[in-house]
Amino acid sequence: MAARSFSSPAALVSAAVAGVIFGIGLSVAQMTHPEKIWNFLDLAAIPSGGWDPSLAFVMGGGLIVAFFGLRLNRWLGWQQPVVGPSFIVTSRTKVDAPLVIGSAVFGIGWGLSGFCPGPAIADLGLVPQDVWLFVVAMFIGSWVAGQFIDAPARSVTPTPEATASAR
Amino acid sequence: MDHFTPLSALAGGILIGLASSILWLVNGRIAGISNIAGGIYPIRRGDELWRFVFLIALPVGAWLGYWVGPAVFAEVPRELPHITLTPLWLVGTGLLVGIGTRVGRGCTSGHGICGLARLSLRSLVAVVTFMVAAMIVVFITRHVV
């Protein structure tokens, strides 16, 4: 049996293509600008007409495409992805305290900085001198938190296609 | 609303959805940036290289978008992001975002795009939580303090 890998040459090419398209999307939509994020989050600006709903359009556009893209494999009855070994998705379904607490902490950091992980890393290609500290701190924060919540198991474990289908 | 840019926002979102679909259908992985980044260490053989490649491709794409955006959409200015945060602020908020996305297992892409697209209840709760938290923070920093 030919050994498939998430890091086979073909998978790396695909990851590169996906990463570049993702980055172009963030940049074209100006999600790379913290000001643009703040102008969306600032609901108090609605009465004065200063609110910027752009971020909702970004999420909407992404959701519509991903809604179909993330189901296409099931519709087509694929047992495996095109080059990867299996479809990997979390098996967690329960809403728990870490989900809510972590998301709230993330939201506070997002509101204070105007940066979520994607745009922060994307900005390394535009204003690296301004964002590298944020990105380094983000990696450290993630690693330290991972020491507490993930040991010894990890958040994402390879699951058979059955799990992916079950969502 | 002179800074509202619906066309480029929708186009950018479609590209993000397309990228997420490619990573899922071709590689079998969810395009959640915080998870892709958080999974780099500790090294797990076979599961790390694609993460590095994706994360390096992301800023390359952003740089390309800097040129493509204004060329295609009149509403997009050719402007570099203007970062006004102090170093201490960058470190503090970076830690919050890193810790929060790890504990909450996802960010705006993993929960916000992929999770919602999969109709995950967990992701819906996460998105509402971080949106409301961020909106409260921005209300305070812009209108109270």
Burial of A26 (0-12, 13-18, 19+ CB in 10 A): buried
Over pLDDT 70: what percentage of chain A?
Answer: 89
Residue B65 to residue A25, Cβ atoms within 8 A: yes
Lowest model confidence (mean pLDDT) among A45-49, A149-153, B125-129, B138-142:
A149-153
Question: Taking 80 as the threshold, does the pLDDT of residue A60 lie above it?
Answer: yes
Element (DSSP H or E) covering residue B117: helix B116-117
Could you say which DSSP state residue A91 is in? -
Global ipTM: 0.97
Tokens of B103: 């504990």
**CB-CB: which of A65, A107, A144 is closest to B134?**
A107
pLDDT number for residue A152? 54
State the average pLDDT for chain A.
Answer: 91
Task: Give the mean model confidence (pLDDT) for residues A24-52.
Answer: 97
**Res A162 pLDDT > 60:** no
Closest to A28 in 3D by CA, of B22, B82, B63 = B63
For residues B135 and A120, what is the distance between their CA atoms, to the nearest angstrom?
19
CB contact under 8 A, A139 and B143: no
Domain limits, chain B: 6-144
Exposure of A2 by Cβ count < 10 A (0-12 exposed, 13-18 middle, 19+ buried)?
exposed
Do A90 and A155 touch, CB atoms closer than 8 A?
Answer: yes
- Closest residue, chain A, to B41 (C-alpha): A143
Average pLDDT, stretch B18-23?
A: 98
CA A70, CA B80: separation in Å to the nearest integer? Answer: 33
Confidence check: pLDDT of A154 > 60: no
How much is the pLDDT for B1? 44
Q: Which residue stretches of chain B are H helix?
A: 6-22, 33-38, 49-72, 87-103, 116-117, 121-139
Say if B56 is an interface residue toward chain A (CB within 8 Å): yes
Mean per-residue pLDDT for B12-39?
97
DSSP letter at B112 equals: I
User: Mean pLDDT throughout A72-94?
Assistant: 96
Residues B91, A113: Cα–Cα separation, whole Å: 10
